[in-house]
Amino acid sequence: MTNEFIKLLGKKNLFIQGDEAAVYGALIANCRFFAGYPITPATEVAEGMAIWMPKLGGVYIQMEDEIASIAAVIGASCTGVKSMTATSGPGFSLMQECIGYACMAEIPCVIVNVQRGGPSTGQPTEAAQGDVMQAMWGTHGDHQIIALAPKSVQETLDLTIEAFNLSEDYRVPVILLMDAEIGHMREKVVLPEITDIKVEDRVPATIGIDKYRPYGTGFTRSSKVPEFAPFGSGYKTYVTGLTHDKRGFPVTTSAEVHEELVRRLIEKVSDDIDIIWYYEDSFLEDAEVIVVSYGTTSRPAASAVKMARKNGIKVGHVRLITIWPFNYEKMKDLLKNAHTIIVPEMNLGQMIHPIREIVNRDAKIISAPKIGGAIHTPYEILKIIEGSKN
């Protein structure tokens, strides 16, 4: 087994930024098309792609804006090439329509959003977690995407590979929700051993060309994900954002066709929630207070929980790695014994909403928001933990 990018890079121990780690992860996963419009703090992703893509026979293209960028990514992916774009808040807003298109047409793609302070152009160089709800609900209509939130540079690399795998497995857009802090942070990164790297590819069409229906399922397996035939392969494919039948042709007034399609788009992901919902927990056994965090905020949260434990407070920590879809059942179970839940976020309270839905009524839920660019300090979170004892 070999990995073209790792061979070309020639070293295993690196000291790189989060943005670069997203590039390296994508290239390890065999991403060979990148279209983007550079924007702070995601510019280094485009830079890295511009450097590496030509060396790997891939394509880097700087488009005129973010709408064109995601459209190009979807088009490239239709030909069977693993494709990615990277942006930040203002660009992510522009991409929403096409993210919906990729959901509807089931085109695998990875969108890296290195979050900065918003709304609008906001704070270009400052970190935020303000796009959490937008990642799930930015595009209109019922749908399901997958979003992953790394907490370190190493995890950015690992989760970028995973983002491609999930995108390919489920034929769904996957959003890597980073932030300016991780995007620009440098840490020691160790590339995975080639034998440990799992790279998934979309399931190809195997049925005879005359029998193939692009959105028919179950031809070769029982999953709700249809087999993929790339443009130019000889198979007849048809792609549209309109509600379509199994041949891919628009059927826009049938409630039956619409319901079957939209339910399948959601269920193909949500049926596997226990497989794709990644999380970490610590000190939960006897925890009366639980801190729930994701992304960068998990780092001061972890420090605060350890400090509070030293002070004898029964506090635990749950870190969400897959933030969308949200695993309601599992979260309910993890949080069931706590009398207080604390949710630190670099926004004015977003992930707290699904948590509020599942926590039992007697428990107190404390939002610990922080905006403006600086990440929470461990002491800020510790104070809230200490204050929640009674």
Residues that bind another protein (CB under 8 A): 13, 15, 40, 124-125, 181, 184-188, 296, 299-300, 302-303, 306, 375, 377-378
Cα–Cα distance for residue pair 72/70, rounded to 1 Å: 5
* Longest pairwise C-alpha distance within the chain: 69
For 244, the token pair is 């379509």
CA-closest candidate to residue 70, choices 115, 101, 40: 101
State which residue, 161 or 305, has the beta carbon closest to another protein. Answer: 305
End-to-end CA distance of the chain: 57
State which residue, 106 or 158, has the beta carbon closest to another protein. Answer: 158
For 97, the token pair is 């329509």
State which residue, 15 or 249, has the beta carbon closest to another protein. Answer: 15
Cβ atoms of residues 83 and 110 within 8 Å: yes
User: How near is the Cβ of 22 to another protein at its closest, in Å?
Assistant: 17
3-state SS of 109-178 is: EEEEEEEEECCCCCEEEEECCCCHHHHHHCCCCCCCCEEECCCCHHHHHHHHHHHHHHHHHHCCEEEEEE
User: How near is the Cβ of 87 to another protein at its closest, in Å?
Assistant: 17
User: How near is the Cβ of 317 to another protein at its closest, in Å?
Assistant: 11
CA-closest candidate to residue 160, choices 288, 19, 53: 19
User: How near is the Cβ of 119 to another protein at its closest, in Å?
Assistant: 17
State which residue, 270 or 303, has the beta carbon closest to another protein. Answer: 303
Torsion angle of the four alpha carbons 305, 293, 353, 274, in this order, in degrees rounded to the nearest 10: -110
User: How near is the Cβ of 20 to another protein at its closest, in Å?
Assistant: 12
User: How near is the Cβ of 301 to another protein at its closest, in Å?
Assistant: 8
State which residue, 185 or 359, has the beta carbon closest to another protein. Answer: 185
State which residue, 173 or 300, has the beta carbon closest to another protein. Answer: 300
